């Protein structure tokens, strides 16, 4: 560790951002990674799991001790992850080109690795619906080269978004993306936000009663970089990781403000006992900063 904290600058773009406040410094919990992604906070374990993708390992930060250790290596070149409602860890793995679930006893279950008999490109990020379905994006970053996975020829024509139902069936729910990336449901699950990193924008879809998607208009565009992971807070605001920090949007699409950080941010999650601590992966660092808002799943 070479630093313990870094300056965090709050930039207000709209008066509706006024209630959002936080620490002036972000704590550096870890700074020895190559490219970090996929933070997920487990309240049962009081641990943040996160990926150092090029080094093919999953790391764990212990909230009680502050220690960081290797949780799994090899880690399947894992990227995005979440903790489901049963406390199990779900993650997307570039290396195995699959979505997996780790049970409390450590057993790994493959939830999805194919669509219509063809292997996925490299599942990237995922979110759990209250009905138990898992929605995930499948760009090709993990097979483009050996840096974040294993170089391979795609078996599927394109990069799409999928839903894995509790019965094990997999459905393609969106197919007009270049490189789909981070995704998040609104609190009522009637809206699904999905990032297209290569096109540098966020899209908003309506989720129908039959769980089909409609709409898909551009919700926000990132200038001077791109978006990656996204999360929603209890006021309905959308937080997006970007090259200059975190961007915070109102549900109407207005950029309310930013939390400016000195490294390219890849992902974020809310955690801590009150879910009011932002954990952010930023290039080689895992950061934490306490804020005045509360995150949802």
Residue 1 pLDDT class (50, 70, 90 cuts): low
Residue 160 pLDDT class (50, 70, 90 cuts): very high
Residue 104 pLDDT class (50, 70, 90 cuts): confident
Residue 236 pLDDT class (50, 70, 90 cuts): very high
Helix extents (H) in 158-229: none
Helix extents (H) in 30-115: none
The mean pLDDT value for 110-116 works out to: 98
Q: What pLDDT does residue 2 have?
A: 54
Closest Cα to residue 115, out of 78, 151, 159? 159
Q: What pLDDT does residue 224 have?
A: 83
In the predicted model, is pLDDT for residue 197 greater than 70? yes
In the predicted model, is pLDDT for residue 3 greater than 70? no
Encode pLDDT of 245-295 as tens digits.
999 999 999 999 999 999 999 999 999 999 999 999 999 999 999 999 999
Distance between CA atoms of residues 229 and 278, nearest Å: 13
Residue 60 region by backbone torsions, left for phi larger than 0, else alpha for psi between -120 and 50, else beta: beta
Q: To 10 degrees, the CA torsion angle through 136, 262, 297, 227?
A: -30
In the predicted model, is pLDDT for residue 128 greater than 90? yes
The mean pLDDT value for 171-200 works out to: 97
The mean pLDDT value for 219-244 works out to: 96
Distance between CA atoms of residues 7 and 23, nearest Å: 9
The mean pLDDT value for 122-136 works out to: 98
The answer to whether the beta carbons of residues 128 and 297 sit under 8 Å apart is: yes
Question: What percentage of the chain has pLDDT greater than the value 90?
Answer: 96
The mean pLDDT value for 148-167 works out to: 98
Q: What pLDDT does residue 59 have?
A: 98
Q: Output the average pLDDT for the chain.
A: 96
Encode pLDDT of 59-89 as tens digits.
999 999 999 999 999 999 999 999 999 999 9
Question: What percentage of the chain has pLDDT greater than the value 70?
Answer: 99
Domain spanning 36-236: which superfamily? TolB, C-terminal domain (2.120.10.30)
Enumerate helices (H) and strands (E) in the chain, giving the number of each: 1, 28
Q: What pLDDT does residue 108 have?
A: 96
């Amino acid at each position: 560790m070479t630093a313990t904290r870094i300056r965090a600058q709050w930039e207000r773009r709209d008066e509706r951002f006024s209630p959002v406040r936080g620490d002036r410094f972000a704590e550096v919990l870890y700074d020895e990674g190559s490219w970090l992604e996929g933070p997920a906070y487990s309240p049962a374990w009081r641990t943040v799991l996160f990926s150092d993708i090029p080094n093919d390992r999953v790391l764990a930060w212990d909230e009680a001790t502050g220690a960081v250790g290797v949780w799994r290596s090899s880690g399947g070149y894992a990227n995005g992850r979440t903790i489901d409602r049963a406390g199990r860890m779900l993650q997307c793995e570039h290396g195995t080109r699959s979505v997996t679930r780790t049970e409390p006893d450590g057993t790994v279950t493959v939830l999805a690795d194919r669509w219509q008999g063809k292997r996925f490109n490299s599942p990237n990020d995922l979110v759990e619906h209250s009905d138990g379905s898992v929605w995930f994006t499948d760009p090709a970053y993990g097979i483009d080269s050996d840096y974040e996975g294993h170089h391979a020829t795609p078996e599927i024509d394109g990069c799409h978004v999928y839903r894995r139902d509790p019965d094990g069936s997999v459905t393609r729910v969106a197919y007009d993306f270049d490189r789909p990336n981070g995704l998040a449901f609104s609190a009522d699950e009637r809206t699904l936000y999905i990032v297209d990193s290569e096109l540098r924008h966020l899209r908003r879809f309506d989720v129908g009663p039959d769980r089909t998607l409609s709409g898909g208009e551009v919700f926000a565009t990132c200038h001077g970089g791109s978006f990656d992971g996204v999360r929603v807070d209890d006021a309905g605001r959308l937080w997006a990781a970007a090259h200059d920090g975190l961007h915070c949007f109102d549900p109407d699409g207005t950029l309310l403000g930013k939390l400016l950080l000195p490294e390219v941010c890849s992902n974020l999650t809310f955690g801590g006992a009150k879910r009011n601590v932002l954990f952010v992966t930023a290039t080689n660092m895992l950061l934490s900063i306490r804020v005045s808002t509360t995150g949802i799943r």
